[in-house]
Amino acid sequence: MQLSRAAGLDKAQMSRVVKSLTEHGLVVRDLSSQGGRAVELNLTRRGQQTYAGLIAAAAERDRALRAVLTDAEQTTLDAMLSKLAAAARGLIEAEAEKDV
């Protein structure tokens, strides 16, 4: 439930995503130490390598996009993104409180 909420997906959608990731050997499901129906998802070695590649590609794209901005524009962009991220966290927290 926590993962689906954070991803903005309903339980059925998240179940399909996890199933696909598992079938592709990117994650493994383990029973949670919390008990009940909870499961923990862990990246496999292949999943870790895929994740590292995605992060590296995203960082390279970010550098390329930011290269067209002046220092002042980058500072403004960073401030705006921080403000939006804080607002997004607030919305997620408010939605989580409704689900409790």
27-72: pLDDT as tens digits? 999 887 777 778 889 999 999 999 999 999 999 999 999 999 999 9
Q: Are both 64 and 85 inside the same structural domain?
A: no
pLDDT exceeds 70 at position 100: no
- Assess whether 76 and 58 both reside in one domain: no
- Domain of residue 17 covers 1-68
Q: Do 42 and 30 share a structural domain?
A: yes
Give me the number of domains the chain comprises: 2
- Any idea which residue has 């590609």 for tokens? 57
Name, in order, each residue with C-beta under 8 angstroms of 4's C-beta and a sequence gap of 6 or more: 10, 11, 13, 14
Instruction: State the pLDDT confidence band at 20, using cuts at 50, 70 and 90.
Output: very high
What number of CA atoms fall less than 13 Å from residue 51's CA on the CB side?
11
Instruction: Check which CATH number belongs to the domain holding 31 and give it.
Output: 1.10.10.10
What is the distance between the alpha carbons of residues 30 and 28, in angstroms, rounded to a whole number? 7
Do both 7 and 35 map to the same domain? yes
7 and 55 co-located in one domain = yes
